[in-house]
Amino acid sequence: MSHHENHRAHRIGWLRAAVLGANDGIVSTASLIIGVAAASATQDSILIAGVAGLVAGAMSMAAGEYVSVSSQSDTEKADLELERRSLEQNFELEMDELAEIYENRGLDPALAKQVASQLMAHDALGAHARDEIGISEVGNAQPVQAAFSSAGTFVVGAALPLMVAWAIPGPRLILAVAASSLVFLALLGAIAARTGGAPIIVGAVRVTFWGVLAMALTAAVGRLFGVIG
């Protein structure tokens, strides 16, 4: 009978971008709405600020993720090219280097040499990319995927407090946006923790904490400028 374990490492790339995008969408847009509302702005001004924050934030997230992940991809490609040239020029030395890595992991010298020889006969560059450099297919950088995932989830996250602000105008707006956004954040943290195999309560609490802090600070700033104005 075969035994298959349901590992979650393959989810790291898209899960990180998705959670980051949704979290930023909720926190930044809710904080912006609360800050503007605390400055005694009109309903139209609050909604305009929220929509502008949604569009600007989504583009910023997409650009930031694309540049960041592209830089990672460029570094990986440069390392692989360096390793490819080294394999062409010093194959035996590279085999000894790989064998030494396996020895340090607990294999005896003869077995380490045999494993290194067989793996390099099958895929020399792949073996060194995985075991020497630390590059694997699981962690492969995907700039476009990260950009779209982050921007898309930012829009979804930002739309939630924006819809609440539109549906509940007036003096109850700040409380409604803050309370609903904290619920959204807690759910997001719980879902992300569940998907990643982490404790659900811990995931929900750590996301909610930073949301509370961000909204409290922007409300204080908005109140201050509202008083000054």
pLDDT in tens, 144-175: 887 888 889 999 999 999 999 999 988 899 99
pLDDT in tens, 26-78: 999 999 999 999 888 888 999 999 999 999 999 998 898 888 888 888 888 88
Q: Distance of alpha carbon 13 from its chain centroid, rounded?
A: 7
Nearest-angstrom CA–CA distance, 177 and 38: 12
Residue 120, pLDDT above cutoff 60: yes
Q: Give 137's pLDDT tier (boundaries 50, 70, 90).
A: low
pTM for the predicted model, two decimal places: 0.71
Segments of the chain assigned E as strands: none
pLDDT in tens, 8-36: 444 455 566 677 788 889 999 999 999 99
Q: How far, in Å, are 69, 71, 85, 145, 153 from residue 14 at the CA level? A: 11, 17, 32, 7, 11
pLDDT of residue 14: 57
